[in-house]
């Protein structure tokens, strides 16, 4: 490993350590750690201090961090909680967002402000569940009705774009990609059903014995499943993030009771303690600050895209939930749903690599995503605190009801 690579890794690790400390010290501003990580990456990168530089090893770890983040998003998804009406409303809201975002993106492309309506439209329909989960958990609203609807909304805002990226943004025929996606999902469901039915007591006891031993067998099995499903997604010609997301859902379905919290804590430690911060810091290093500052209209586009994120995701959420939540809770719901960054980074990277998005728009979209992670949750939490506490979540329907 070369000396510049080692220096870059040390600086990335330093930024990862400093981010939660700075976040803790900025209580008045409530800066999310993810924004600080990206900001520190920008400062360390080639356009400010020019100390840290992308490279094969650094970029590989960042790609692993993004993939693992999607795995954790799938693992944290409690399908039993959001199934039924919450997921149905979330799906309807996201479909309205997709239509609205594609219409707006089409207008911008027609006006000559970008090259591809699909890329731009998909970027405007994302919601970052991985970023919102700790915010909602710290705010104490995960166990409320508001929390249930918000998790469902964020799930749709993650899963919908991931599926369309895997089907439409590949070099394969969309119909063939769609059929492969259906086949892949059938394999995932079949694996979950079979594994859930076949839980030999000897195997369960073996896993429990090694839960806290040096073998860490449940964690190793979870990581094996994650890599296996990522590999299957790659072989099917689908996006690797979809494979990681499906693997996370599968691992959660296979983990129950006391094991869920224990295994989840260990998997989160691997992700948020190592790989995930690397992805966000390196995203900041890659952030093209020069393009953003050299274009006279680029900063205006940041504001425009921030507004479009709120319109594309927030307006449908505000409308769809008008009969389910009071107005004092629909505004925070709309603000939280417009919070997006990880998938924006992914989609804009695909767009610029394939020449389907102007570099200044990619930088402006990522900048808008960074602002959304900072501004919208802060405003949403402030509105929740000034309103009455959200109502407790209704109990999950009994099986077969």
- One pLDDT digit (tens) per residue for the chain, 401 residues: 788 899 999 999 999 999 989 988 876 666 778 778 988 999 999 989 999 988 889 999 998 998 898 888 788 777 777 888 899 999 999 999 999 999 999 999 999 989 999 999 999 999 987 778 767 877 788 788 898 999 899 989 988 887 787 677 665 566 666 676 777 677 766 766 666 555 556 666 777 787 777 888 888 988 998 898 888 888 777 777 778 888 888 888 778 666 788 888 899 999 989 998 998 899 889 888 888 888 778 889 999 999 999 999 999 999 999 988 988 899 999 999 999 887 898 889 888 888 889 988 998 998 899 889 878 988 888 888 776 555 666 655 554 44
pLDDT computed for residue 401 by the predictor = 43
Please say whether the dihedral angle defined by the alpha carbons of residues 63, 67, 70 and 76, taken in this order, is positive or negative: negative
Residue 140 resides in a domain = yes
Cβ atoms of 124 and 104 closer than 8 Å: yes
| C-alpha dist (Å) from residue 373 to 8, 206, 208, 233, 280 | 26, 42, 38, 29, 13
Supply the DSSP symbol for 395: P
Q: Find the CATH number of the domain harbouring 76.
A: 1.20.1530.20
Q: Which residues contact 116 (CB under 8 A, 6 or more apart)?
A: 109, 351, 356, 357
Query: What is the Cα–Cα distance from 45 to 54, expressed in whole angstroms?
Result: 8
Tally Cβ neighbours within 10 Å of residue 296.
7
Please list, residue by residue across 208-230, b when 16 or more beta carbons sit within 10 angstroms of its beta carbon and e when fewer do.
eebbeeeeeebbebbbebbeebb
Q: Which of 144, 147, 150, 155 is nearest to 79 (CA)?
A: 155
Q: Is the dihedral of CA 93, 94, 95, 99 positive or negative?
A: positive
Asked if residue 157 is part of any domain, the answer here is yes
Task: Compute the Cα dihedral for 369, 373, 379, 381 and give only its sign.
Answer: positive
* Structural domain count, the chain: 1
Answer yes or no: is 400 within a domain: no
CA distance 270 to 32: 20
Torsion angle, alpha carbons of 323, 324, 325, 331, to 10: -70
* 392 three-class SS: strand
First-last CA distance in the chain = 59
Q: Is residue 397 part of a domain?
A: no
Residue 393 in domain = no
Residue 97 tokens read as: 């967002």
310 in a domain, yes or no?
yes
Give residue 2's pLDDT.
Answer: 85
Domain that holds residue 210: 3-386
Q: Which tokens sit at 259?
A: 């094991």
Any domain includes 396 = no
Site of tokens 């409320």? 144
Dihedrals phi, psi of 392, to nearest 5 degrees = -60, 150
339 Cβ neighbours under 8 A, 6+ residues apart:
127, 128, 131, 132, 372, 373, 376, 377
**The predicted structure's pLDDT at residue 174:** 62
Distance CA 52, CA 11 (A): 7
User: Do residues 380 and 318 touch, judged by C-beta distance below 8 A?
Assistant: no
0.85 exceeded by the pTM? no
In a domain, 365, yes or no: yes
Torsion angle of alpha carbons 166, 168, 174, 176, nearest 10°?
A: -10
N residues, the chain:
401
User: Phi/psi at 144 (nearest 5 deg)?
Assistant: -100, 170
- CB-based contact 110:320 (threshold 8 Å): no
């Amino acid at each position: 490993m070369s000396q510049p690579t080692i220096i870059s890794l040390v600086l990335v690790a330093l930024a990862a350590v400093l981010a939660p400390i700075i976040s803790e010290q900025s209580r008045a501003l409530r800066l999310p750690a993810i924004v600080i990580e990206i900001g520190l990456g920008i400062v360390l990168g080639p356009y400010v201090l020019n100390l840290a530089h992308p490279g094969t090893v650094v970029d590989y770890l960042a790609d692993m961090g993004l993939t693992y983040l999607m795995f954790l998003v799938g693992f944290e998804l409690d399908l039993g909680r959001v199934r039924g009406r919450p997921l149905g409303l979330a799906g309807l809201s996201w479909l309205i967002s997709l239509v609205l975002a594609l219409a707006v993106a089409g207008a911008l492309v027609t006006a000559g402000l970008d090259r591809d309506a699909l890329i731009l439209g998909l970027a405007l329909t994302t919601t970052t569940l991985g970023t919102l989960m700790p915010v909602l958990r710290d705010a104490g609203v995960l166990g409320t009705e508001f929390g249930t609807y918000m998790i469902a909304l964020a799930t749709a805002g993650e899963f919908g774009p991931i599926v369309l990226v895997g089907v439409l943004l590949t070099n394969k025929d969309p119909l063939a990609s769609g059929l492969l996606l259906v086949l892949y999902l059938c394999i995932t469901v079949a694996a979950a059903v079979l594994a859930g039915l076949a839980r030999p007591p000897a195997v369960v006891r073996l896993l429990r014995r090694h839960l806290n031993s040096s073998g860490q067998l449940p964690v190793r099995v979870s990581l094996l499943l994650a890599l296996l499903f990522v590999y299957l997604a790659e072989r099917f010609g689908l996006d690797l993030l979809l494979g990681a997301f499906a693997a996370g859902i599968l691992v959660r379905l296979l983990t129950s009771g006391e094991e869920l919290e224990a295994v989840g804590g260990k998997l989160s430690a691997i992700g948020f303690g190592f790989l995930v911060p690397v992805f966000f810091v390196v995203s900041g290093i890659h952030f093209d600050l020069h393009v953003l500052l050299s274009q006279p209209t680029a900063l205006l586009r940041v504001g425009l895209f921030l507004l479009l994120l709120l319109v594309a995701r927030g307006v449908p959420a505000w409308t769809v939930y008008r009969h389910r939540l009071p107005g004092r809770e629909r505004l925070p719901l709309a603000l939280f749903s417009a919070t997006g960054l990880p998938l924006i980074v992914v989609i804009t990277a695909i767009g610029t690599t394939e020449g389907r998005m102007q570099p200044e728009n990619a930088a402006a979209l990522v900048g808008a995503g960074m602002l959304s992670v900072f501004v919208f949750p802060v405003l949403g939490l402030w509105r929740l605190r000034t309103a009455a506490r959200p109502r407790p979540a209704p109990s999950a329907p009994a099986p077969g009801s």
